[in-house]
Amino acid sequence: MSDQNTLHRQTWVAVGPAGTVGTIVRTDDGFAVRLSAKAADGGVYPTLAVAKSAVFAALGPGADYPEFHEH
């Protein structure tokens, strides 16, 4: 039995060599990025792929592409 009043948000954690670098949360408007090191929002993007690219771009030149784990 499913509760139609319960809202389930999907969350992905971006993990790099030094640990967590950010998160992505699915919202009604798209995929919201939060960057750990900057303690700031990174914007809302239309697709998960674009949000992942935004996290990677925010890491700067020479950074490894992070692993994304859904929670």
Q: Which amino acid is at 18?
A: A
**What is the per-residue pLDDT for 9?**
80
Q: What phi-psi label fits residue 66: left (phi over 0), alpha (psi between -120 and 50 degrees) or beta?
A: beta
In a domain, 4, yes or no: no
Range of the domain at 48: 11-59
In a domain, 3, yes or no: no
Asked if the model's pLDDT at residue 24 lies above 70, the reply is: yes
In a domain, 5, yes or no: no
Instruction: Encode pLDDT of 33-71 as tens digits.
Output: 999 876 667 899 999 999 999 999 999 899 999 999 998
Domain count, the chain: 1
In a domain, 70, yes or no: no
In a domain, 65, yes or no: no
* pTM score: 0.82
pLDDT confidence band for 7 (50 / 70 / 90): low
Backbone Cα Rg of the chain: 13
- The residues facing 70 across adjacent strands are 12
